[in-house]
Structure 1
Amino acid sequence: MDASERIFKYHGLGNDFVVLDRRRTGVDIDAEQSRWLCDRRRGIGADGVLAILPSSRGLARMVVHNADGSIAEMCGNGLRCAVKYLVDHSGQHPALIDVETGAGVLTCEPGYGDGGVVGVDISMGPARLVAANLPSGTTGQPFVGAPVPGHEGLLGTAVNMGNPHLVLLDQPLEAAERLGPGLERHPAFPDRTNVEFVRVDEDGLTVVVWERGCGLTQACGTGACASAVAAVLAKRLPSNAWLRVTLPGGDLRIRVPDDLSDIRLRGPVAFVFEGVVALPRAR
């Protein structure tokens, strides 16, 4: 018999997540349960599942399960959803909270309004240009504005925001659906990669993201950060300024310091509904 469990649905700019609070048991879900919850016809429907687990390093630990059952190291939109859940159910109004993620412990600043937390300012940690899950993991050299092997005329920048990204500046946004699936699995990225298709505007960026394990989504927080990093590295936009990044679901604000040491993300978050589901048992 399947077990009943309370679930909570949130979204950040249309990037939607099911939140499961597993702090009492400390037991995560498996890939099949994640796929079922994310199924928009047979389950609840979401881009991902956020399992909230106990942590000795923060208020909680967030594990991000993609719609295909894989696990993402980090998710900026998901983290805002997790922060809203944690704070709104705490009965308190903290100025800052720490949440443990696959990209480390990240400090989050909730913004309050009607209905509790309405936005979150997140310290996303450093942007890394040399990492094991980027092409630089093999060469030891940053992959910045470099030709993408096997794709003539395509230049990309590889950025690790806790998870891997391939940013393509000045690429047609409509090419995401056509090129995204193949680039996600490019052999230069051993763990697959998120792919950003970016138009550089005078006052910011317009971005469409092909997300690893999800496909096209309404928004991607780490993708917005990686895109801003690539634009700053290319000297197309200034560092140390709050940059607009427009995604299909709306706008985020990203700040990139000169040394890439702590990327900041600011964006909205919303509660959708809560309910009880008969969650298939873990295998």
Structure 2
Amino acid sequence: MNAREAVERLYGGEVTGVRRAGGAIFLVSLASGEAVIAKEGVGPGATAAEAAGLRWLGEHGDLPTPRVHGHDDQWLVMQYVPPGPPTPEAAEAFGRNLAALHQRGAEAFGCPPPGGPADAWMGVAPMRNEASPDWPTFYARHRVLPYVRDCVDQGLFTQDEAELFEKLCDRLGDLAPAEPPARIHGDLWSGNVHWAADGVWLIDPAAHGGHREGDLAMLQLFGTSQLQTILGAYAEGAQDQGVPLADGWRDRVPLHQLFPLLMHAAVFGGGYARQALSAARACLR
């Protein structure tokens, strides 16, 4: 099935044009004048996980997410949101509203969104979402060690280097403050912060119950427009809600960047492996 057929079957209407918008994402025009996005999943469960994540993150309206029109095992059809400029006003609203979204909470660390599969994806990498008793257990078991093992198998880490990550995992309870599980986007790099005319929309989530500092660290990994305004507004918003960020949260950025760095290393290779090692060493100093 191609993008045209997916839109006709999952949403309906006469398709008048299909344009690739990047990778496996297509902008599909309809005779009604409407445009929708058709996105092909990267693997089993990918479309179901993304659809569930979009609905979960957008449930209370703290931050908008594209409306899901339909999905099957191969395709996800959703609302098209035209892009807009990254303004300071939009950045400040985004930071405050992200703080509110995180406080919506989750049933447990590692839990998938309601209706979402346990076996999900972050980009093109498989990712396991499984409810865990606490954040250190979840982060070690499902976010750090599986990708360390992948990197060892690929020859990217020596056994001594792998043991460094194991040592870090043993100390996670001391390195990060205990917090209740937050409702997080999970892959909040700049490409998934969609600036529109009415502010920031969240797209392409890897949503799960996690540590809120994880989303903040991801915003900083590859750089995000208006980053300092976003982070400042987030901190103010969390303070106003009575749930201020714990002291030292900026120093813990490398800890929360370990997962995306390891995932990228497992998929793309050595440069990310070196960055992950540097982050682990910084955490253990």
TM-score under structure 2 length normalisation: 0.27
TM-score under structure 1 length normalisation: 0.27
The structure carrying a bigger helix percent of its residues is: 2
The structure carrying a bigger strand percent of its residues is: 1
When Rg is computed on C-alpha atoms for both structures, the one with the higher figure is 2
